[in-house]
Amino acid sequence: MDKRALGTSGISIAPLALGGNVFGWTADEATSFSLIDAFVARGFSLIDTADVYSIWLPGHSGGESERIIGAWLKRGGRRDAVHLATKVGMDMKAAGKGLSRAHITASAEASLRRLGTDYIDLYQAHIDDNTVPLEETMEAFARLVEAGKVRAVGASNYTAPRLAEALAASGAKGYPRFSVLQPHYNLANRALFEGALQQLCLREQIGVIPYYALAAGFLTGKYRKPEDLDGKARAGTVAHYLDPRGLDLLAEMDKIAARLGATTAQVALAWLIAQPGVTAPIVSASSLAQLEDIMASPCLALDGAALSRLDRASI
């Protein structure tokens, strides 16, 4: 499988990343192990998680996903076969939040312990923090890189102006800069990334690993009416896509999938993989069947007609 450079990070990956947000949430430890095993066996390597996963569940305090990945490594998973990406900045309740020097340093050490590794391949600011000077944030990341605890740094949920400011702050001080961006981007929601943010990433050679690549499952086609959401973990996130525009988009995807002998999920991910600047969409799965479907997407080549139709249907 062809690999792509992850921006200027020095890391190259196959064009799909595994989202660890479900580990310890909709996928228990045994299922999570099987998902990681299958993902790595197919030649993929980037596993994305965050310290805050899955603090939203009763009884959880954050770090559950990282602990499961660490347990997978301890069980015998090869560290050299995976690239581990995690994030810092979201509210960890008693453990704090934000992008201060102290919080980044302490959070990195906690993530390393939970992951059971001595380095993180990609450490990302999970959310912008305008209460802390960018110079302080970037210095904290730089110290982790210098110490060999982090290979590369990235950002998630940054606007184009703030990402540009962060790059300038790093450049002025000679700190390692954000080489990766993790934006909210998919066929059903293009506005948050396309435009100034995408152009900045292209211009600065920043690798892009979009999250919500399948719009919380909506773009798989399994949710088409309100009752399909009953009892589902992501019902609140998916519900707002169930409007005429979203259903028309699914109808167009159905036609393209039928013509190409693919699934709607594969079409959605193949479209993302084909977008300028995108290195690898991040996708999560709660079962091996879901993952097998997803892992076929990099092999699906959308022709010009399909790409044009999807562009028009998703505007």
Catalytically active residues, by annotation: 53
Q: How far apart are the first and last CA of the chain?
A: 31
Rounded to whole angstroms, how far apart are CA atoms 158 and 192? 10
Rounded to whole angstroms, how far apart are CA atoms 18 and 25? 15
Rounded to whole angstroms, how far apart are CA atoms 106 and 112? 10
Helices (H), 14-159: 29-41, 64-75, 101-115, 134-146
Other residues' Cβ atoms within 10 Å of the Cβ of residue 73: 18
Rounded to whole angstroms, how far apart are CA atoms 49 and 97? 16
Phi-psi region of 43 (alpha: psi -120 to 50; beta: other; left: phi over 0): left
Could you tell me whether strands 17-19 and 207-208 are parallel, antiparallel, or unpaired per DSSP bridges?
A: unpaired
CB 187 within 8 A of CB 312: no
Question: Which H or E element spans position 237?
Answer: helix 235-238
